[in-house]
Each structure stands twice: as C-alpha cells, then as structure tokens.
Amino acid sequence: MLFDPASSPGGTGPPSPQKKRGLLRKAQTEGNRIGLLPTEGWRKRNIQFLNEVLIPTLFSPRQPGESFGLLPIAKTNEIGVTWLGHAGFFAQVGGVNIAIDPNWALWHGPVKRVRHPSVWAHDLPHIDLVLVTHAHYDHLHLPSLRKLAAAQPIIVPVGVGKVVKNCGFGHIVELKTWQSATFQDLRITLTPARHWGARMIHDTHRQFGGFLIKSPDRCLFHCGDSAMFDGFQEIGKRASIDLALMPIGAYDA
C-alpha cells in the first residue's frame, strides 16, 4: 500500500504551482536547494563538451553492451543494484524491485547513445515501483516508462505527475523536497539537488531532486542529476546511507 501524506483524493500529490505569465526561468535557492545556478565558465565547458563529445559521437559506431548473464537477486536485508546505463538503475531494496530513471532510448533528438544498454526492459523481473528524479528527457523517457508500466506506482517530484499520467501506472505520487512516501516496508524521500527540472525551455514549475530509499535494514541514495553542492552534507546528516548512486561528472551545474 502506497501512502503519500500530501496526496489528493485523485491519487496524485499536491498540484503544481501555477506558472506566472511572463515568468522567466531563474536560479532557485531555498537553503541548500539550488536550481539553475551555473558555476563560472559554464559556457566554455558546454562548448567543449559539444565539440569533443557530442559531435564526434554522431560519426562513430555505437558500441555493443556487455552481457553479464542473469541479474543477481538480493536478499531482503541487502541492497542489489544493476546499472541500466546513463543514470538509470534497477535496485532491490527490502525485497522490492525498483527502477530509477530507466531509459533505453538510442537517440534523444540529435544526441546519440554511444553504447547499447547491457540490460533491457525485457531482461528485468517485474518492477514493483518506479522512481523518476526529474523531467529532463534523458531521465524521463516516456517509451521506456511504458515498457515497465503494469499498474504499479510511480513516484516523481511535484509538477512531473502530469507528464507520466498516460503511461499506465496505477498510482502517481508527487513529492516536494524532503517529503516522503511509503511502499511496503520502504520509505522513499525526495532530496534536494543542484540542477533544474524543466522539460521544455519555458518550464518554471517542475521540481527535481534525488531519492533516499530506506528499508528497515538498508538505505540507498540516488542523487538524481545533481552537481556537487553543500546539500549533500545535509542529506548525509539526515540518513545513514549504505550505498550512494551519484552519476556526476558531465558538468558542474
């Protein structure tokens, strides 16, 4: 049974804040929660990443994924994690099968996936719960979510629920930062992140973050798409984390 303390009778979390006419996307800072606030030199780094990484991949063959046989099955008091590629993971916590930011797309517009996934949707066991950290296309890929949807719940930040409402999930829960929901013996909490949540350039209302996934025995942390920031200290103080998934390194903001 999934419980969200802020859920509405309709089964989703609190409504998204209304977008004001003419409002521009800005940096957002609430204590240790920092949104689109690039560090110095971000333009140069982005141009370098475009010229040295993105453009060359368009002309190079996509590499095959590495096969490693059957997926390991974790015990109830253990954590099991299988990397799905990019920021996606199949996690087993407290006996619950969880997909976090699953994405099997080979292209996102002009951006090419450089390596085939080693684990595809059909390789996974039944997924009990799906978590999406934010609405960016490389983390919220609708075709990939539809491959997994089988009337199970999905947990997303506030403002993202309407993006996934037609995917086939049985229950959509939207969380604000530091808000939690429970599923079986798990407690799932949305943590702050240094990033932003716009799916389109004009979006100003979608939240973003990472997830703490706590069972009675273990705690798993996925930082979302966060860059390094002081909020990690706060997260570490609030939870005794056994394993952290931190796909950081492509950028500083």
- Compare 66 and 51 and report the one with higher pLDDT: 51
CA distance linking residue 66 with residue 106, whole number of Å: 16
The string of pLDDT tens digits covering residues 146-199 is 999 999 999 999 999 999 999 999 999 999 999 999 999 999 999 999 888 888
How many CB atoms are closer than 10 A to CB 42? Answer: 13
Taking the alpha carbons at both ends of the chain, their separation in whole angstroms is: 37
Quick check: is 20 in a domain? no
CA distance linking residue 222 with residue 193, whole number of Å: 10
What is the DSSP-derived secondary structure letter of residue 51? Answer: I
Average pLDDT, the chain: 84
Q: Closest by alpha carbon to 84, among 139, 151, 129?
A: 139
> To the nearest whole percent, how much of the chain has pLDDT over 90?
58
H-only helix segments in the chain: 42-49, 55-57, 142-148, 231-238
The string of pLDDT tens digits covering residues 119-150 is 999 999 999 999 999 999 999 999 999 999 99
CB 104 within 8 A of CB 135: no
Quick check: is 231 in a domain? yes
Quick check: is 156 in a domain? yes
Quick check: is 229 in a domain? yes
* Average pLDDT of span 37-52: 77
Quick check: is 15 in a domain? no
State the pTM of this model. 0.84
Domain that holds residue 203: 2-6+54-245
Number of domains in the chain: 1
Quick check: is 12 in a domain? no
CATH number for the domain spanning 80: value is 3.60.15.10
Quick check: is 14 in a domain? no
CA angle 78, 244, 138 (to 5 degrees): 115
CB 159 within 8 A of CB 205: yes
Quick check: is 196 in a domain? yes
- Compare 249 and 121 and report the one with higher pLDDT: 121
* Average pLDDT of span 227-243: 93
Instruction: Identify the band that residue 5 occupies on the pLDDT scale cut at 50, 70 and 90.
Output: low
